[in-house]
Amino acid sequence: MRGVSEAVKNFAMAVVAVCAFFALQGAFDYQERVFAERAAYRAWAADACMPTHEGDRAVARLAGGKIECRILSGGGYGRSAPVVVSAATMDVPE
C-alpha cells in the first residue's frame, strides 16, 4: 500500500510541475509581447513628438489607447521645473 501512495504523490508532483512550467511559459510570452508593443509605441512616439528647438525634450506616455506627447523646455538640476511648450494626443497606430 505504501508503494501506491508514493506513486500517487509522485504523479501529483509531476502534474504540478508541468502546470507550473506552462503557466510560467505563458507569463513570459505575455511579458515579451507587452515589452515589444511598448517599444514600438515609444519608437513611434519619439518620431511623432520630435522637439523642434535645441535643449527641448519630448515626453510620450501611453494612456487609454492614445499617446500623449509633451514637449518640455527648460528645467534641470538646480533650475526651475520644465515648462510644457506644446502637447498633443494621438491615437495608437494599428
Rounded CA separation 71/51 (Å): 6
Report pLDDT digits (tens) over 9-51.
888 899 999 888 888 888 888 888 888 877 777 777 666 677 6
Mapping DSSP onto H, E and C, the string for 42-79 reads HHHHHHHCCCCCCCCEEEEEEECCEEEEEEEECCCCCC
Three-class DSSP category at 86? strand
Report pLDDT digits (tens) over 55-72.
777 777 777 777 777 877
Residue 76: left if φ>0, alpha if ψ -120 to 50, beta else—which one? left
Give whole-number Cα distances, 44 to 49, 57, 72, in Å.
9, 15, 18
Instruction: Name the grid cell of 13.
Output: 508532483
Rounded CA separation 31/75 (Å): 34
Is the separation of the CB atoms in 42 and 69 below 8 Å?
no
Binning pLDDT at 50, 70 and 90, where does residue 79 land?
Answer: low
